[in-house]
Amino acid sequence: MKGYNPIELAEKLRPKMIDLKNKKVLLAVLAGTEQQKDLTKERFFESIFRSKIYTKPEDKELDPFRGEPAGIAAKKLNVTPDECNAAFLGQINGCNLNCWYCYVDRVCNSANPKYGRYFSAEEYLKQFLVEKRKNQDSPNLDLRLNILRISGGEVFIVPEIIVWMVQALEEFKLEDYIYVWVDCNLVTGDFYWKYLTAKQREKIRNFKNLGVCVCHKGFDRQTFHENTRAAPEFFDEQFKLHRRLIDEGLDVYSYLYPVTISTDNLRKRIATFMDKLREEVSEYAPLRMATPPIKVYGPTKKRLTPEREKALENQWKAMEIWKEELQKRYTPEELSLKPHEVPVRK
């Protein structure tokens, strides 16, 4: 299995994704893309921003994100979890991975300014406030917006946006009223430490309403490579960054889409992944992880092959095994906890 170096690619993409002088990042313009066709009018704002519902009525049984970020946001903001089921987000344009199941069109992940617009944190936040205000008393709780998500693309290629957003929220005196949820693909090496000063990192650490949601791109080297086309050894890098973000003092949650083309030794491969998480990240890391299924959106559909269709079928089996392996390692009390009720580390 060969593949490219995603950290080198991130370095190449970074200058096009950030305007340091004006403190802006490149956000994807979704108008005219396949992704736009997946968005309803009431959830698509100014051709760039959108809102995502975490658990749709048809998913209630499945609860794909295990009640987060709603659970933690509701607790921090002192509202009900039903009022935190949707998040407002902009997508950073530029990603160093090429996941076939990504719901974003490639052009919106290419760091090409032709398919994006530069936004400051203040502009991003103002757009959030406009949309929040429109529906703050709506009887449809899924229209209420209490979570501001910084998504991508890959946010950690330009981690400055996180501290700029925290500063903007403090400047507007909104730190007690909005929960910030930041995505990370775990393959940006030391960017967070290289591009943020100790003081900036301290500011983020001390911002109480912020969670980081990291996504493991496969449960072994084989699935990591299958999913992303990056070199398989970067599978191991994910555990290091996951651990380092926890050591940094951040409130870290995680998820894994358990797609796999092959079901050979599936139980063993999943059990090994779970134990690697416990040993290299934290004893409790699997309890803070969700394993939602991939849904086939427009951009994903265009990349489907017979093998990938197979991987989508196999994800259900992998999710079952994941649950069974959790039961072997944790008590019923531990398993009944929501991710935010589980300590980040022992």
Chain residues binding ligand SF4 by CB under 6 A are 95, 97-99, 102, 104, 109, 152-154, 185
> Could you tell me the CA-to-CA distances from 233 to 66, 90, 274 in Å, in that order?
29, 30, 18
For the bound state, the minimum distance from the C-beta of residue 328 to ligand SF4, rounded and expressed in Å, comes to 30
For 50, the 3-state DSSP assignment is: strand
For the bound state, the minimum distance from the C-beta of residue 111 to ligand SF4, rounded and expressed in Å, comes to 12
Inter-residue contact 232 to 222 (CB < 8 Å): yes
For the bound state, the minimum distance from the C-beta of residue 33 to ligand SF4, rounded and expressed in Å, comes to 13
Helix (H) and strand (E) counts in the chain = 13, 11
For the bound state, the minimum distance from the C-beta of residue 322 to ligand SF4, rounded and expressed in Å, comes to 19
The residue (of 88 and 224) whose beta carbon lies closer to ligand SF4 is 224
For the bound state, the minimum distance from the C-beta of residue 140 to ligand SF4, rounded and expressed in Å, comes to 28
The residue (of 35 and 200) whose beta carbon lies closer to ligand SF4 is 35
Helices (H), ranges, the chain: 6-17, 34-37, 70-77, 121-134, 160-171, 191-194, 198-206, 221-228, 234-247, 266-280, 298-302, 306-329, 332-335
For the bound state, the minimum distance from the C-beta of residue 104 to ligand SF4, rounded and expressed in Å, comes to 5
The residue (of 54 and 207) whose beta carbon lies closer to ligand SF4 is 54
The residue (of 92 and 281) whose beta carbon lies closer to ligand SF4 is 92
Residues 6+ apart with CB under 8 A from 219: 256, 258, 260, 269, 270, 273, 318
Task: Tell me the sheet residues that pair with 262.
Answer: none
Helices (H), ranges, 141-218: 160-171, 191-194, 198-206
For the bound state, the minimum distance from the C-beta of residue 269 to ligand SF4, rounded and expressed in Å, comes to 20
Residue 220 exposure: Cα atoms within 13 Å on the Cβ side = 18
The residue (of 81 and 90) whose beta carbon lies closer to ligand SF4 is 90
Identify the CA nearest to 132 among candidates 181, 93, 81, 83.
Answer: 83
Burial of 72 (0-12, 13-18, 19+ CB in 10 A): buried
At position 230, the amino acid (one-letter code) is A
The residue (of 89 and 270) whose beta carbon lies closer to ligand SF4 is 89
The residue (of 105 and 325) whose beta carbon lies closer to ligand SF4 is 105
The residue (of 195 and 297) whose beta carbon lies closer to ligand SF4 is 297
For the bound state, the minimum distance from the C-beta of residue 97 to ligand SF4, rounded and expressed in Å, comes to 4
**For residue 249, how many other CB atoms are within 10 A of its CB?**
13
Helix (H) / strand (E) containing 18: strand 18-19
